[in-house]
Chains A and B, each alone.
Chain A
Amino acid sequence: MSRLFLNFAIQAYLAGAAVGIAAPVIGCFLVQRRLSLIGDATGHLAFAGVAIGVAVGIAPLWGALVTAILGAIALEWLRGKGRLAGDLSLALVFYVGLALGLVILSARGGLTASATGVLFGSIFTITWLDVVAIALLCLLVLVAVALFYKEFVAVSLDEETARASGLPVDGLNVLLVVLTALLVAAGMRVVGLLLVAALLVIPVAAGSRLAHSFRGALLWSVAAGLVSTLVGLVVSLAQGTIAPGGTIVLAAAAVFVAAAVAGRRAAKRHPRGAGA
């Protein structure tokens, strides 16, 4: 029987599909608001959370989840106060999170074994319990976005006008970063904390080349995320030694290139120029 249809592969497809669908949904709102790096920062903080979890004896997923949520809320608070302008503050968060995780894991002598799987993913070693946890986290993200879709769109388009119109902008912003943290935790085993932000951004970049509306971009992004994840997994399984996290992100990059070419050709065939 081909490796492609073994039990561990099926588990990987299901977990990968869940993250591949949910990540671009959140990613659309982050990209529109130019907050793409929040996913990266949250991923780095989650690495410190995994290390703390290992140190205190709780499951890595829970350590990552708690730290990512608290870190994301802190980042949003700093952004709201205008103290997170530019990339310097986010870069500080990246390095401190990574260094903290490195120090704690190495001090416990578990650096090589623990860090590789957390940073670069370990989707072929997940259990059915992991699949259920990842699927539930992604489902939570999708349900929340479905419930608050019109509010998220309004805030993403123009935060100032949304605030002036009476929307609870601060609460919605916190909700968005918490959902980002849930997604980062869910993606930890699939592509790893260093690459999970790529699934928040690259499929969205692909989707944006093919649509003329936000909803259209979102749907294309989801399709790009799903295809990238499944193709990346199949390539990794078929080859046998390549890390799936890398193939998934490279597949997403290939989808982006294809979308960019297709979008440009469509624009040439059907120019939609502005009128007077």
Chain B
Amino acid sequence: MQPVTVEMVGVRFGYGAVPILNGVDLTLQEGEFTVLAGANGTGKSTLLKVLVGLLRPDDGTVRVLQGSPSDPDVRRQVGYAPQGLRMAASLPVSVTEVVSAGLAPSKGLLHRLDRKDWTRVTQAIEAVGLGDLSAECLFELSGGQQQRAILARALVGRPKLLLLDEPTTGIDQRLRPTLVRELRRRADAGATVVAVSHDPDEFHEVCERILVIADGRLDLITHEEFHHQFHGHEARA
């Protein structure tokens, strides 16, 4: 039995009077790769934000890496990639600068990045296939390339828990398998990976399980059940 990385018990959360999470129970173990699926607005991103401590549950308990998700020491071991680019394009920012920003928390205040850190930055950029574009301005790249840079920022600190919101959205179909394999490699190395996705099919060869969120609760389903529920429904529509 692998050590428990994430434990949610009876978690409820709502925006105002609108309940989003309605008694969520979830246990994730070290090295486990989980895909979180569900329709738009069902609370997938909200669940990740609760796990990373950006949102506080109205009720229930959340334990991440044996601590509170709002504990800075815990957060430094978590790699979080939000959905889409959340940066103002006021000033130019290179891909290398975006990815190296992912090392700032773990490096600690007043410590400069050393040669080893810059090697890790280079490796993370190459892992997402942006090696040739590392010096380019992020805002001059395509949406898929920007998404890969955001993914590299989450990966660069070699976190114990990876929380990725739609990590492959906008990325070229040809590159997706490479990125998915990289995430599997991280899980094999001991990281717990949670990827929110509208299309769990692309993860079916690498993930241990698919969780579907609906009506504020999580349900474990098989790949076949997912196909039947979502793609079958879409086909009929």
Contact = CB atoms under 8 A, between A and B. Distances in A.
Interface stretch (B9-17, B35-43, B132-140, B211-219): B132-140
B191 to A, nearest CB: 15
B132 to A, nearest CB: 9
Contact of B86 (A151, A161, A276): A161
A31 B91 contact: yes
A57 interface: no
A167 B109 CA distance: 9
Contacts of A10: none
Contacts of B102: 154, 165
Interface of B: 52-54, 72-76, 78-82, 86-88, 90-94, 96-98, 100-107, 109-110, 112-113, 133, 135-137, 140-142, 144-145, 153, 157, 172
A85 to B, nearest CB: 15
Contacts of A6: none
Contact of B104 (A151, A204, A208): A151
B91 A28 contact: yes
A164 interface: yes
A150 B103 CA distance: 9
A272 B137 contact: yes
B140 to A, nearest CB: 5
Nearest 8 CB-CB pairings of A with B: A166-B75, A213-B94, A166-B76, A154-B101, A166-B72, A165-B105, A154-B104, A274-B142
A153 interface: yes
Interface of A: 28, 31-34, 147-148, 150-151, 153-154, 157-158, 160-168, 204, 207-208, 211-217, 272-276
Contacts of B137: 212-213, 272
B110 A147 contact: yes
Which secondary structure dominates where chain B touches chain A?
mixed
A150 B101 CA distance: 7
Contacts of A160: 54, 82, 86
Chain B CB within 10 Å — which of A147, A154, A161, A204 has the most? A161
Contacts of B105: 154, 162, 165-167
Given A153-B104, A276-B144, A158 B92 contact: no
7 contacts: A151-B104, A154-B102, A154-B105, A160-B86, A162-B101, A162-B104, A213-B137
A257 to B, nearest CB: 18
Contacts of A157: 87, 93, 97-98, 101
A10 B125 CA distance: 48
Contact of B113 (A33, A150, A217): A150
A86 to B, nearest CB: 16
| Of listed B76, B82, B97, B133, residue having the most chain A CB within 10 A | B97
A208 B91 contact: yes
Contacts of A33: 88, 90
